[in-house]
A and B are shown apart, each in its own frame.
Chain A
Amino acid sequence: MISLTVNGTEHSVDVSSDMRLLWVLRDILGLTGTKFGCGMSLCGACTVHLDGEPVRSCVMPVSIAAGKKITTIEGLSTDGSHPLQQAWVAHQVPQCGYCQTGMIMSAVALLKKKPQPTDTDINEAVTNICRCGTYTRIRAAIHTAAEKSGSNNGMKG
C-alpha cells in the first residue's frame, strides 16, 4: 500500500510502486482533470504539483510522490474561483480544452514563484503543448491574473 495526500485528502492505494502518478490519479482515484497526452513528459497535459512544484505526472513513479503533497486541478478550487481560472474564463482561453488543466497548473506554479512574471518567465515555465493554439490568450490570462493579484495585495503601485 502506498500513502498519498491528494488535494489535502489522504489515500491508501494498492498499486505497483512504479505505476505512474498520472494513472493513479485518473484510474485509481478517479481524478480525471489531469490528462494523458504523451506519456513521455513532453506535452505537460498531466501537470500536477508535488509540494508546490510542477511535475509531469505521466513519468513520475507513484512511489516518489508518496508522502508528498499532491495538488491536481481539482484541488485548485472547486468552483473555478482561483484567479488564474477566472483569468482563463475572462480571456476565453480554452478551445478544445484538453491541455488547459495542465496549462493552468503550470501557470499556478509560475505565479507562486514569480507573482509578476515577464514574457520570458512565461516562456520558460509554460512549456506545455496546445494543439488548438491558445498560446496568445494563455499569455494574456497569466498577465491578467498577475496584475489582479498585484493590485489586490498592493504590491503593484
Chain B
Amino acid sequence: MPMQQMSRRSFLLRSAAVGGGLLLEVTLPKSSVAETEQASAQAETSPEVTAWVLIRPDDTIIIRVARVEMGQGNFTGLPMLVAEELACDWSKVQAEYASTSEHLRRNRIFQTMLTGGSRSIRDSQEYLRTAGAAARLMLTTAAAQRWGVPVAECVAENSLITHTPTQRQLSFGAVAAEAATLDIPENPPLKDPAAWTLLGQPAARFDIPDKVTGKTAFAIDTRLPGMAYASIAQCPVFGGSLKSVDAEKIADMRGVVKVVPLEDAVVVVAKESWWNAQQAIRALPIEWDFGEHAHVSSDSILEFLREGIQLEKAPVSRHEGDIDSAFASAATMIEADYYAPYLEHATMEPQNCTALYTDKRVDVWAPAQNSEATAAVTAETADVPVSRVEVHKVHLGGGFGRRGLHIEFVRQAVRIAKTMPGTPVQLIWSREEDIQHGRYRPVALVRMRAALNAAGEPTAWTVRQAEQSIFSEVRPHLIRDGVDIVGVRTFADAPYTFPNMHMEYAMRNTHVPPGPWRAVAHTHNPFFRESFIDELAHAAGQDPYQFRRTLLQTPQASKDLAILDAVAEAAGWDSPLPEGVHRGIAVQDSYGSYTAAVIEASVNGTGELTLHRVVVGIDCGYVANPDSVRAQLEGSVVYGLTAALYGEITIKEGRVEQSNFHDYRMMRIAEMPTVEVLLKPTGGFWGGVGEPGMAPLAPALCNAIFAATGKRIRSLPLKNHDLRPA
C-alpha cells in the first residue's frame, strides 16, 4: 500500500517553520515509529484511497483536514472540495484532522498545515479536488477490475459504482481495500464547476453539534491524569526581563509546586487547578528590569510616526505619471492625515498550551494556526528531533491571526514541561496577559494628497505611509527595497485610475510587537483610502458612489465595480432614508476577493451613534459552502465595527494600558445593526473569505458619519470623537 511504502522510506525533511524564522533539517529514521504502526492499523480497517480519504467497509468516508478550524468553517468546506469530486454520499462523510507527525513523516503529504491569510479553501481547492477525483478513479478502477470490465463502462455516484451495461453495483466500502493498492492517478480530470452538486450549496458544519453541548475540547480543555497547571506573568514592558522573584513568599500557598523563571517572564506551577497557580502568581513578588523602552508612550510613538511623514524621502511603493505637474495645475488640492491605533486580537480562548515531556517524546495541545510550526517550535525548544513530537490538533477558540506566526505560549509550555518530565503541564494566560502581551495590529499614520482639475476630475494622488512593519522580523523576504509589500496593499494595488500617482512607505518599527490581525493591512489601509476617496468626492461635489464608479472603469477594476454596484443596489443607495439616517459606502479588494459595504447610521444631538443597517457583499469567485461565507461576512461586521467603534491599545511607560474587556471593549448583541450579506460569486477564480469582509466596514461607517454630521473621522476608534453635529 502506498502509505507503507512511504513509511519505509527515509527522507530529508526541511521544515521551514514559522516563529522566529526557524529552519529545521531532520533525517527521519528508516524504521517505523509507533504512530506509523498505528496509522497502518487504521489503514487496514479503513483503507487509504489517496492520503486524504479513508473508506471503511460500512461506507463511512473519512476526509482528512490539514488546516485548522478556528470558526471559519474549513473543517467542513475542505472536505466538501474532496467529496465533490469523489462522488460520495455526503451524509456518510466525517472530517478528521490529518496528523502532523504523519505529515512530516510522509514528506509533507498534506501540503501545508498553516491556516491563515484567508487561504484554506483557495489554496487547497486544486489539490483537494484532484485527490477526490483520483480517489473516485481508483475506486471505479477497483470495481471494474473485480468485474473484469473496462473502467469506461463504470460510473461512480453517491458512493456507489455502477457497471452501466449490466447495472451491477458495488459500494465504495466494498472496493476500498483494492482501490488503496492502486497507483494514484496524477492528473484526473476535474468536473466542470457547472456540474457541481455539493460545492456551492449550503452544508451543515461538522463541528457545530459538539459546540452546542460543550463536548468540543479546545486546547484549554485538555485533561490528562496528574496534570499540573501553570500561570504566567510576563514583563509588562516589551523587551524587558526578569530580575528576581521571591519564590519563598508563595511556597506555602495551596497547590504550589514550583516557580519557573524565564528570561522575560515567570511561571508558577500548581496542582489541582489553574486557580491555585493564578492566585500564587498574583501574590508573587517580582522584580523586573524594564529595559530600554520604559519611557515609550502612545504620544512618543505618534511623534515617531510624524517624523516618518515628514522625512524628505521614503521608499517608493508605486509611481505612475508626473505628480509635480499634476499638482501644479490642480484646481483643488486636498490633503489629510489619517491614523489607526494598535489592536489586540482577543481570541475568546486565551493563549494556552498543554505539554507533556517524557524521554521518549513530547506531546503538545495548543490553539495554534500552524501545527507544523508548532511541532518545529516544540522540537527546538525541547531539543528533540521533530520525529519525537506529537502535536494534537484541536479546534481553536478563535485565531484571527494571533496564533499563526506567534506561538510563544507553546515555547513557554514546553520549557516548563521539560523541567517536570512525565507530568503534563497546562499553561494558561490570563486575559490580562493576553491583552498586554499580544502581537498587535500595527499603528499607522498616513498622509494623502490629491488634486482635482477644474472639472472636478481627480488627476493625482500621493500617499506617504508611516507604519510599523509586521513582517520585517518574521518574514524579511516580504520587505523589498525598504517596502513591506503586505503593508502597502490597498494603496500600491489600488484599482482606482488616477493619471498620476506616487506612494511612499516609511517603516517605523517600535518596541511593541506587531502581528497579523484579521485582514492585516486591509483593516486600517482601507479606512484611510476609502475615507479619503470620500473626501475627494465631496470636494468634487459628487456622489461618493458615483465618484468611485468613475474611477473604476478599467477592465482590471471591473470586479471592484461590479461588487460596488451590487451592494449599492441592494442597499438602495439612491432611495430615501428615515429622518436623520445617513449612508456611507466603501469598496475594497483583498485576499483575491472583492467586497463592498453600505452602512446606514445616525447621530443624535448628544453625539450618540446608532448603527441601523449594514449591507456587505462579496465576490469570492467560486464558493465552497455559502453558509460559511455568509457567517464569515456577518462575523467580519462585528470584528471590524468593534475595532472602528472601540478598538485601541495604548502604550504608557512602555507597556499596554488596557487589560481586559472593561477597558478593551467589544461590541455586544444590543449594538448589532441589521446585517445583510450579499453573495455575488462570479466564478472563474477562488478568493479568500475569512478576512476580506473586514475591509470596507470602518470606512463605510465613517463615511456615513460624515454624511450625518459633516465631521470627517480621520482617526480611530470612534469612541475618542465627539460626534455631536457641528
A residues at B contact (CB < 8 Å) = 15-16, 19-20, 23-24, 26-28, 30-40, 42-43, 45, 72-74, 76-80, 85, 88-89, 92-101, 104, 122-124, 126-139
Q: Please, how many angstroms separate the alpha-carbon atoms of A75 and B82 in the complex?
A: 37
0 or 1 for each of B201-231: is its CB under 8 Å from A? (1 = yes) = 0001101110111111110110100000100
B636 and chain A: residue at smallest CB distance: A133
- Interface presence of B410 (CB below 8 A): no
In the A-B complex, list the 6 residue pairs whose CB atoms are closest, starting with the nearest.
A33-B214, A133-B638, A98-B397, A97-B211, A96-B71, A95-B71
**Are B275 and A96 neighbours in the complex by a CB distance under 8 Å?**
no
A79 and B397 in contact, given A20-B275, A131-B348 (Cβ under 8 angstroms): no
A79 and chain B: residue at smallest CB distance: B213
Residues of A within 8 A of B229 (CB): 27
Q: Please, how many angstroms separate the alpha-carbon atoms of A95 and B352 in the complex?
A: 20
**Are B668 and A135 neighbours in the complex by a CB distance under 8 Å?**
yes
A127 and B669 in contact, given A28-B272, A96-B397, A100-B212 (Cβ under 8 angstroms): yes
CB distance from A6 to the nearest CB of B (A): 13
Q: Please, how many angstroms separate the alpha-carbon atoms of A133 and B640 in the complex?
A: 10
- Interface presence of B448 (CB below 8 A): no
A129 and B668 in contact, given A96-B70, A134-B635 (Cβ under 8 angstroms): yes
B202 and chain A: residue at smallest CB distance: A92
B residues at A contact (CB < 8 Å) = 69-73, 204-205, 207-209, 211-218, 220-221, 223, 229, 254, 272-275, 278, 346-350, 395-400, 428, 430-431, 627, 631, 634-639, 660-662, 666-670, 672, 675
**Are B211 and A23 neighbours in the complex by a CB distance under 8 Å?**
no
Known: A74-B214, A131-B347. 15 other contacts (CB 8 A): A16-B254, A26-B221, A31-B214, A42-B662, A43-B666, A73-B213, A74-B213, A92-B627, A95-B631, A101-B212, A104-B212, A133-B637, A133-B667, A137-B631, A139-B672
CB distance from A26 to the nearest CB of B (A): 8
A97 and B395 in contact, given A32-B214, A123-B670, A134-B634 (Cβ under 8 angstroms): yes
The residue in B215, B223, B430, B635 that gathers the most chain A C-beta atoms within 10 A of its C-beta is B635
Residues of A within 8 A of B272 (CB): 15, 27-28
**Are B634 and A137 neighbours in the complex by a CB distance under 8 Å?**
yes
Q: Please, how many angstroms separate the alpha-carbon atoms of A33 and B397 in the complex?
A: 13
Residues of A within 8 A of B670 (CB): 123-124, 127
CB distance from A155 to the nearest CB of B (A): 25
B73 and chain A: residue at smallest CB distance: A95
Interface residues of chain B: helix, strand, loop or mixed (majority): loop
Residues of A within 8 A of B254 (CB): 16
**Are A89 and B212 neighbours in the complex by a CB distance under 8 Å?**
yes
**Are A136 and B634 neighbours in the complex by a CB distance under 8 Å?**
yes
**Are A43 and B213 neighbours in the complex by a CB distance under 8 Å?**
no
A129 partner, pick from B72, B396, B635, B666, beta carbons under 8 A = B666
**Are B431 and A38 neighbours in the complex by a CB distance under 8 Å?**
yes
Residues of B within 8 A of A95 (CB): 71-73, 631, 635
B352 and chain A: residue at smallest CB distance: A36
A94 and B211 in contact, given A23-B273, A27-B273, A32-B221 (Cβ under 8 angstroms): yes
A131 partner, pick from B217, B666, B672, beta carbons under 8 A = B666
**Are A77 and B213 neighbours in the complex by a CB distance under 8 Å?**
yes
CB distance from B396 to the nearest CB of A (A): 6
Q: Please, how many angstroms separate the alpha-carbon atoms of A35 and B350 in the complex?
A: 10
A136 and B217 in contact, given A92-B631, A95-B73 (Cβ under 8 angstroms): no
A19 partner, pick from B213, B220, B273, B662, beta carbons under 8 A = B273
Residues of B within 8 A of A15 (CB): 272-273
Q: Please, how many angstroms separate the alpha-carbon atoms of A56 and B661 in the complex?
A: 14
Q: Please, how many angstroms separate the alpha-carbon atoms of A130 and B400 in the complex?
A: 13
Residues of B within 8 A of A26 (CB): 221, 273-274
CB distance from B433 to the nearest CB of A (A): 11
Q: Please, how many angstroms separate the alpha-carbon atoms of A133 and B211 in the complex?
A: 15
**Are A43 and B214 neighbours in the complex by a CB distance under 8 Å?**
no
A136 and B675 in contact, given A40-B661, A92-B205, A97-B71 (Cβ under 8 angstroms): yes
A32 and B217 in contact, given A43-B661, A95-B71 (Cβ under 8 angstroms): yes
Q: Please, how many angstroms separate the alpha-carbon atoms of A94 and B213 in the complex?
A: 11
Residues of B within 8 A of A104 (CB): 212
Q: Please, how many angstroms separate the alpha-carbon atoms of A131 and B229 in the complex?
A: 26
CB distance from A58 to the nearest CB of B (A): 10
CB distance from A87 to the nearest CB of B (A): 9
Q: Please, how many angstroms separate the alpha-carbon atoms of A28 and B273 in the complex?
A: 7
Q: Please, how many angstroms separate the alpha-carbon atoms of A40 and B73 in the complex?
A: 30
**Are A88 and B71 neighbours in the complex by a CB distance under 8 Å?**
no
**Are A123 and B212 neighbours in the complex by a CB distance under 8 Å?**
no
CB distance from A45 to the nearest CB of B (A): 6
Residues of B within 8 A of A31 (CB): 214
**Are B638 and A80 neighbours in the complex by a CB distance under 8 Å?**
no
A98 and B430 in contact, given A40-B661, A79-B213, A139-B669 (Cβ under 8 angstroms): no
CB distance from A109 to the nearest CB of B (A): 15
**Are B208 and A96 neighbours in the complex by a CB distance under 8 Å?**
no
A86 and chain B: residue at smallest CB distance: B212
Q: Please, how many angstroms separate the alpha-carbon atoms of A92 and B77 in the complex?
A: 14
Q: Please, how many angstroms separate the alpha-carbon atoms of A103 and B229 in the complex?
A: 27
CB distance from A24 to the nearest CB of B (A): 8
Residues of A within 8 A of B204 (CB): 89, 92
Residues of A within 8 A of B627 (CB): 92
**Are B274 and A23 neighbours in the complex by a CB distance under 8 Å?**
yes
**Are B348 and A129 neighbours in the complex by a CB distance under 8 Å?**
yes
Q: Please, how many angstroms separate the alpha-carbon atoms of A76 and B212 in the complex?
A: 10
**Are A129 and B212 neighbours in the complex by a CB distance under 8 Å?**
no
B434 and chain A: residue at smallest CB distance: A38
Residues of A within 8 A of B672 (CB): 135-136, 139
**Are B637 and A98 neighbours in the complex by a CB distance under 8 Å?**
no
B675 and chain A: residue at smallest CB distance: A136
**Are A27 and B349 neighbours in the complex by a CB distance under 8 Å?**
no
B213 partner, pick from A45, A85, A130, A132, beta carbons under 8 A = A85
A97 partner, pick from B208, B223, B638, B666, beta carbons under 8 A = B208
Residues of A within 8 A of B662 (CB): 40, 42
A73 and B214 in contact, given A89-B208, A130-B348 (Cβ under 8 angstroms): yes
A94 and B273 in contact, given A126-B669, A138-B669 (Cβ under 8 angstroms): no
Q: Please, how many angstroms separate the alpha-carbon atoms of A74 and B636 in the complex?
A: 30
Q: Please, how many angstroms separate the alpha-carbon atoms of A43 and B669 in the complex?
A: 12
Residues of A within 8 A of B347 (CB): 96, 98, 131
CB distance from A46 to the nearest CB of B (A): 11
Q: Please, how many angstroms separate the alpha-carbon atoms of A96 and B637 in the complex?
A: 16
**Are B348 and A96 neighbours in the complex by a CB distance under 8 Å?**
yes
A95 and chain B: residue at smallest CB distance: B71
